Chains A and B, each alone.
Chain A
Amino acid sequence: MALAGIQIYKLLPQTNCKECGFPTCLAFAMKLAAKQVELDACPYVTEDSKKQLAESAMPPIRLVTLKGKAGEARAGNEVVLFRHEKKFFNRPGIFIRVADTAADEEIAVTVGAASSYAVDYVGMKLGLDGFAVEAASGDKARLAAVVGAVRAATGLPLILVGRDPEVLAAGLEKLPGEAPLLMGADGSNWEAVADLALKHGAALGLSGASLEELAEMAVKAQEKGVEDLVLHPAAEGLGASLALNTQIRRLALKNFRPLGYPTISFTSGGGPAGRDAVAAAQAVCKYAGFVVLDRFAPELVYPLLVLRENIYTDPQKPIQVQPAIYEINNPGPAAPVLVTTNFSITYFSVANEVEGAGLPAWLVVTDAEGMSVLTAWAAGKFDAASIAKAVKGFGVAAKVDQKLIVIPGHTAVLSGELEEELPDWTIRVGPREAVDLPRYMKEVLV
């Protein structure tokens, strides 16, 4: 965490020699705290102070970037425990596990489908971040062959999972110039895997069942010179996993350096149906930097990608669309006018329904500061006056013959006032949910 000016001052020579260009060391310290000058401007800072200042400038959770042949996955640099305090920054990478014991054909199908997977969510394309290739066979040649095959199929970043450094080394040979993550180091073999990570510029994952174990390995790995670490708190069960991940995040934010790294979570495909989805969702909400799924299935991946998008949205800046009149399916003068707010989820829900049903409509999107209909209505940002203002401002009357306007069902209470604001218009109350709009338009609005 950044130091205050007075704390920096204590690390300076305190001789007020003015060589830095400031009248006193304190003045210089204040400028440093405000990041307006570089420490180099003072020729007399001791090495020890430099080290302390450099450490204090480091983010509490190190940014670790995995690099593939094409694409990166970044984790870390988080600064809060709760998203409302600021925001969560780096969306956890979602990886699909591929065991090298699986048949070539199966691997090709999984990697092909998962690497090309792209789904549209409120106008954004969401996809997966990479693959975790597991050396389950224990065979060097086999792992190398599978890593080679995966790499030939996709450029996305890779995680190599295995406990035997020699086998991992064979996989790494297939990934020159990349920064994969080596996963499988624990108390017994970490040193050899750390050497391998150093040699290849890979990130090093450390597995341990307790914070003590993880912190101890992390400190030793740091001393060896490995900078990019990823922690794997190996816990049985959602509760233990939640506790360990929360403790790591809390300690890291309190500047406890040994645990100041992103974490990784593996969801086992075993267990009852749906258990992996729930475990992965917890990992996304509660602090994982990387999440490895045991299988690829769109009905599992799509909700997780959406959850990740939602949790990592900046709470101070709801995703918005431009207030305007939007044309859906080339509306003519006979098409109805629908009204909603400029919260992007709201806009896309409405627009997608109407567009998908092939119905022409004019969609008036009001400036509700990016709030959904209900929230905006409660906050007074979506009322008769603001709807009327939008209808007039966008010149809607000139576009239609029939002055018919449909307001969201949740805001039925606005119809009276809106009739007063827009006396030439007929106000109709639509359904509460966008999903029911096509039926309403076909059956009621005729």
Chain B
Amino acid sequence: MPVEIPKDSWPGAVNTVTLGATGDQGGSRTSTVTIGGERSLPFMHFESPMPHRPAIAMEIAPARPADWSAVLLEAWGATADDPGSWARACEEAGADLILLQFGLKGSGDEPVSADFAVAAVKAVLGSTGLPLVVVGPGQAEVDNSILVPIADATKGERLVLGLCEEGNYRTLVAAAMANDHLVLGKTPMDVNLAKQLNILMSDMGLGRDRVVMDPTTAALGYGIEYGYSVMERLRLAALQGDGMTQFPILVTPGAEAWKAKESKVGEGTPAEWGEWRQRGMNWEALTAVSLVEAGAHVVVLRHPESLRRVRAAIDELMASETA
């Protein structure tokens, strides 16, 4: 029986954004990552081939993080003591890019400083050729105090600088524009708030090829459905032609999943939760794959085994074409 497959054709498309710049392009990366460009819902290759695969970023910290789950620290071992060696280990594990997440602390108990932050970024850039996303601790003044010097010190690298929020986007956008970088905008799980920030950033003259957005997601069990639906709605709006929703999406399932009790701790949990390590990896991988299928362009992960699982899933999702 002949069956006519319904194909949607959409007027809009997701912006195409390239992260990182090679030597020829004014940076020092040995590879770049291009995301976005879709004219269909995620992996609907039969409608319109997906031009770029979703990328996987591995999250690292400038010093061995005190609040990460023992499962993660065990997996990275001594490489996590130093951002350069950690970034290299991520590259060897198959990451497409690195996300360096700063906290409020610098070396020891000192507050994070510009010198400390620039040194950590340089160490990462020196030890891996992958593109880099740099994220501040999420307090506007501190973010500005480290991200502006980082932007100046790495001109031309097309780093992604975050987080741009309503309170500090001006400074970060200006720093990114002056130094040939990109920015990461973050808004709390709401389509209209995401649009609003994108409008504000675009009004400063920032190119459409220089913005990545994080509409915020939660882990499995902790409200994943909100982020999931916001992402589906953003993608639908983007395809319908709403320009301020067409930025590629970066989300952080690794950080979200590993702060959930299910992943983070192995003692004092119910027997029905099962074996800790496998549960933690399932928590991260399931959160990530669900979000990739809802339209994520970059998923930021923490565990090397989850990286392998999510990469294998993306391989399968990209490979197949049905008649």
Chain A interface residues (CB < 8 Å from chain B): 82-84, 117-121, 210-212, 215-216, 219, 235-240, 242-244, 246-247, 250-251, 254, 256, 258-259, 272-275, 277-278, 281-282, 285-286, 297-304, 306-307, 310-311, 313, 315, 343, 345, 349, 352-353, 356, 372, 374-375, 377-379, 433-436
The 4 A-B pairs at the shortest CB distance, nearest first, are namely A299-B274, A239-B320, A298-B274, A299-B279
Asked if residues A302 and B223 are in contact (CB atoms below 8 Å), the reply is no
CB distance from A91 to the nearest CB of B (A): 13
* Contact A240-B309, Cβ < 8 Å, known A250-B6, A297-B274, A299-B279: no
* Cβ of B188 under 8 Å from chain A: yes
Asked if residues A433 and B1 are in contact (CB atoms below 8 Å), the reply is no
* Contact A285-B290, Cβ < 8 Å, known A299-B274, A300-B278: yes
CB distance from B170 to the nearest CB of A (A): 19
Asked if residues A238 and B225 are in contact (CB atoms below 8 Å), the reply is no
Which residues on the B side are within 8 Å of A273 (C-beta)? 278, 305, 309
* Contact A219-B1, Cβ < 8 Å, known A117-B272, A299-B275: yes
Asked if residues B273 and A298 are in contact (CB atoms below 8 Å), the reply is yes
Which residues on the A side are within 8 Å of B3 (C-beta)? 211-212, 215, 251, 256, 258-259
Asked if residues A277 and B285 are in contact (CB atoms below 8 Å), the reply is yes
Asked if residues B285 and A120 are in contact (CB atoms below 8 Å), the reply is no
* Residue of chain B at shortest CB distance from A214: B3
* Residue of chain B at shortest CB distance from A281: B286
Cross-interface CB contact of A278 among B187, B220, B309, cutoff 8 Å: B309
Asked if residues B225 and A311 are in contact (CB atoms below 8 Å), the reply is yes
Which residues on the A side are within 8 Å of B46 (C-beta)? 243, 247
CB distance from B156 to the nearest CB of A (A): 35
* Residue of chain A at shortest CB distance from B271: A298
Chain B residues 302 to 323 lying within 8 A of chain A, measured CB to CB, are 305, 308-310, 312-313, 316-323
Which residues on the A side are within 8 Å of B281 (C-beta)? 274
Cross-interface CB contact of B272 among A118, A277, A353, A377, cutoff 8 Å: A118
Asked if residues B261 and A435 are in contact (CB atoms below 8 Å), the reply is yes
Asked if residues B285 and A278 are in contact (CB atoms below 8 Å), the reply is yes
Asked if residues A307 and B272 are in contact (CB atoms below 8 Å), the reply is no
Asked if residues A242 and B293 are in contact (CB atoms below 8 Å), the reply is yes
Asked if residues A282 and B233 are in contact (CB atoms below 8 Å), the reply is no
* Cβ of B222 under 8 Å from chain A: yes
13 A-B pairs (CB sep. < 8 Å)? A82-B236, A83-B225, A119-B270, A238-B320, A239-B321, A246-B44, A247-B46, A256-B3, A258-B3, A277-B282, A277-B285, A278-B309, A375-B189
* Cβ of B45 under 8 Å from chain A: yes
* Contact A345-B222, Cβ < 8 Å, known A212-B2, A239-B320, A240-B322: yes
Which residues on the B side are within 8 Å of A281 (C-beta)? 286, 289-290
* Residue of chain B at shortest CB distance from A357: B268
Cross-interface CB contact of A119 among B187, B188, B236, B272, cutoff 8 Å: B272
- Bound form: Cα–Cα A250–B40 in Å: 14
Chain B residues 247 to 302 lying within 8 A of chain A, measured CB to CB, are 259-262, 264-265, 268, 270-276, 278-279, 281-283, 285-286, 289-290, 293-294
Asked if residues B260 and A375 are in contact (CB atoms below 8 Å), the reply is no
CB distance from A89 to the nearest CB of B (A): 15
Asked if residues A285 and B222 are in contact (CB atoms below 8 Å), the reply is no
Asked if residues A303 and B222 are in contact (CB atoms below 8 Å), the reply is no
Chain B residues 11 to 66 lying within 8 A of chain A, measured CB to CB, are 41, 43-46
Asked if residues B286 and A307 are in contact (CB atoms below 8 Å), the reply is yes
- Bound form: Cα–Cα A141–B194 in Å: 62
Which residues on the A side are within 8 Å of B293 (C-beta)? 242, 282, 285-286
Asked if residues A211 and B221 are in contact (CB atoms below 8 Å), the reply is no
CB distance from B136 to the nearest CB of A (A): 15
Which residues on the A side are within 8 Å of B171 (C-beta)? none
Digit string of B80-110 for contact with A (CB within 8 Å is 1, else 0)?
0000000000000000000000000000000
Asked if residues A353 and B282 are in contact (CB atoms below 8 Å), the reply is no
Asked if residues B319 and A239 are in contact (CB atoms below 8 Å), the reply is yes
Chain B residues 133 to 192 lying within 8 A of chain A, measured CB to CB, are 187-190
Q: A243-B43, A250-B6 are in contact. List 16 more A-B contacts (CB 8 A).
A: A238-B313, A239-B45, A240-B320, A247-B322, A272-B309, A274-B281, A274-B285, A274-B305, A298-B279, A300-B278, A307-B286, A310-B224, A311-B228, A349-B261, A353-B261, A435-B260
* Contact A211-B320, Cβ < 8 Å, known A275-B312, A278-B289: no
* Cβ of B198 under 8 Å from chain A: no
* Residue of chain B at shortest CB distance from A241: B320
* Contact A83-B272, Cβ < 8 Å, known A235-B322, A282-B289, A372-B223: no
CB distance from A395 to the nearest CB of B (A): 30
CB distance from B308 to the nearest CB of A (A): 8
Asked if residues A310 and B272 are in contact (CB atoms below 8 Å), the reply is no
* Contact A435-B272, Cβ < 8 Å, known A239-B320, A244-B322, A282-B289: no
Cross-interface CB contact of B282 among A239, A258, A274, A313, cutoff 8 Å: A274
CB distance from A417 to the nearest CB of B (A): 16
CB distance from A217 to the nearest CB of B (A): 9
Asked if residues B320 and A378 are in contact (CB atoms below 8 Å), the reply is no
Cross-interface CB contact of B229 among A83, A210, A235, cutoff 8 Å: A83
* Cβ of B232 under 8 Å from chain A: yes
Which residues on the B side are within 8 Å of A297 (C-beta)? 274-275, 278
Asked if residues A120 and B270 are in contact (CB atoms below 8 Å), the reply is yes
Which residues on the A side are within 8 Å of B188 (C-beta)? 374-375, 377-378
CB distance from B307 to the nearest CB of A (A): 11
Asked if residues B286 and A272 are in contact (CB atoms below 8 Å), the reply is no
* Residue of chain B at shortest CB distance from A439: B67
CB distance from B195 to the nearest CB of A (A): 14
Asked if residues A378 and B270 are in contact (CB atoms below 8 Å), the reply is no
* Residue of chain B at shortest CB distance from A353: B261
- Bound form: Cα–Cα A83–B290 in Å: 13
* Contact A272-B232, Cβ < 8 Å, known A242-B317, A282-B289, A378-B193: no
Which residues on the B side are within 8 Å of A315 (C-beta)? 225, 229
* Contact A372-B218, Cβ < 8 Å, known A117-B272, A240-B322, A315-B229: yes
Which residues on the B side are within 8 Å of A247 (C-beta)? 5-6, 46, 322
- Bound form: Cα–Cα A80–B45 in Å: 21
- Bound form: Cα–Cα A169–B123 in Å: 68
Asked if residues B322 and A300 are in contact (CB atoms below 8 Å), the reply is no
- Bound form: Cα–Cα A300–B273 in Å: 9
* Residue of chain B at shortest CB distance from A299: B274
CB distance from A369 to the nearest CB of B (A): 13
* Cβ of B245 under 8 Å from chain A: no
Asked if residues A237 and B316 are in contact (CB atoms below 8 Å), the reply is yes
Which residues on the A side are within 8 Å of B220 (C-beta)? 303, 306-307, 310
- Bound form: Cα–Cα A307–B221 in Å: 7
- Bound form: Cα–Cα A377–B44 in Å: 36
CB distance from B232 to the nearest CB of A (A): 5
Asked if residues A84 and B229 are in contact (CB atoms below 8 Å), the reply is yes
CB distance from A246 to the nearest CB of B (A): 7
Which residues on the A side are within 8 Å of B264 (C-beta)? 435
CB distance from A317 to the nearest CB of B (A): 12
